[in-house]
Amino acid sequence: MNHTFQDLKDVLTDKNIRSSHQRIRLLGYLLNNQCHPTADQIYNDLKNEIPTLSKTTVYNTLNSFTEANLIRVITIEDNEVRFDIVMENHGHFKCERCGTIYNFSIDIDELTADELSGFTIKDKNVYFKGICPECLSNKNTA
């Protein structure tokens, strides 16, 4: 999916985020790489393209995007924070062999239990773990 510089700048402006070159590039990266990257993945993928990029800038930008509801944080594993630009409610499946995270459709609103009536729900996540079809079909994988 191709997004113009102006499109990305407009998204940031609409969210009241100052549109620096680095922020625009990070937003473009997230839109074009919907693989639920970590901050380190983003930094490593962009550092050669943007020599002035620092890990601090990546973390600060991701925090700004999260606060503006432009992206969401997903934590399937306790020690791994990933970022998802798909803001509509959906579930995640993480393959335990290859580590790939897949989105899947689910009506999360239907899952809200009556027992939670009166509670304020701020975040809804559904995570599954297992083995993806590609890894299952690979006979060489243990």
Q: What is the model's pTM? A: 0.84
CATH code where residue 128 lies: 3.30.1490.190
Q: Say if residue 56 is in the same domain as residue 116.
A: no
pLDDT digits (tens, 9 = 90+) for 119-133: 888 878 899 999 999
Range of the domain at 121: 91-137
Q: How many CB atoms lie within 10 A of CB 69?
A: 9
Q: Say if residue 80 is in the same domain as residue 95.
A: no
pLDDT digits (tens, 9 = 90+) for 14-56: 999 999 999 999 999 999 999 999 999 999 999 999 999 999 9
Q: Say if residue 46 is in the same domain as residue 77.
A: yes
Q: Whole-angstrom Cα distance, residue 89 to residue 126?
A: 9
